Structure formats: structure tokens, C-alpha cells
């Protein structure tokens, strides 16, 4: 059995989040798989990291894309210290 690491994302914006991206260096980005509805406004979802990230650093840059195509500035999060993100 593999260890699957998870984190939560709470969307406190007025739009659904349709894409969520992560990067260790802000150069190479990988997307998380979201449901067809993404992360609706006001909702919290649990997202699993890909197994290949198990031995990676705690700090990752995260960027979200919204239903209108706009996106957040990337922000650095430490998932070892705080595995619950809020996007506002």
C-alpha cells in the first residue's frame, strides 16, 4: 500500500476554481486533477498529491485558475507545516 499525502483547498472567492497548479521552482508546473465542477465558490475539497512527490520538498508554489480564465499569482506554501490552503 502506498502512502498518499493529501491537502485541502478552500475556495473563498466568488468563482469556481477550474485548475490548480503546483511547482517547486515556478518553472515547471503540474496540474492537479479536479472534478468537472472544479472547486466551487465557498467549498472545500481534499486533493491527493501524486505518489512521485512523496520525497519532494515541503514548499510548493500554487496557482489557481478560475472559471473566467483569470488566475492567481503563484504563492509559496509549506505543506508540511500547513496542509490546508485557502484561496481568497
* Buried b or exposed e, range 32-52, using 16+ CB within 10 angstroms: bebeeebbeeeeebebebeee
> For the whole model, what pTM was predicted?
0.90
DSSP 53-67: GTTS-SEEEEEEEET
Regions of the chain where pLDDT drops below 50: 1
Please tell me the number of Cα atoms within 13 Å of 19 on its side-chain side: 14
Model pLDDT, residue 54 = 82
Model pLDDT, residue 2 = 53
Grid cell of 37 as nine digits = 465542477
Model pLDDT, residue 4 = 77
Which domains, and CATH codes, for the chain? 6-87 (2.60.40)
- DSSP label of 1: -
Tell me the C-alpha distance between 41 and 75, whole Å: 19
Amino acid at each position: 500500500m502506498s502512502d498518499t499525502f493529501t491537502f485541502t483547498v478552500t475556495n473563498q472567492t466568488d468563482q469556481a476554481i477550474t485548475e490548480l497548479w503546483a511547482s517547486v521552482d515556478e518553472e515547471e508546473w503540474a496540474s492537479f486533477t479536479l472534478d468537472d465542477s472544479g472547486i466551487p465558490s465557498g467549498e472545500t475539497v481534499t486533493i491527493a498529491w501524486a505518489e512521485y512527490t512523496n520525497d519532494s520538498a515541503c514548499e510548493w508554489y500554487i496557482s489557481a485558475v478560475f472559471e473566467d480564465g483569470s488566475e492567481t499569482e503563484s504563492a509559496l506554501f509549506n505543506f508540511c507545516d500547513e496542509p490546508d490552503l485557502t484561496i481568497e
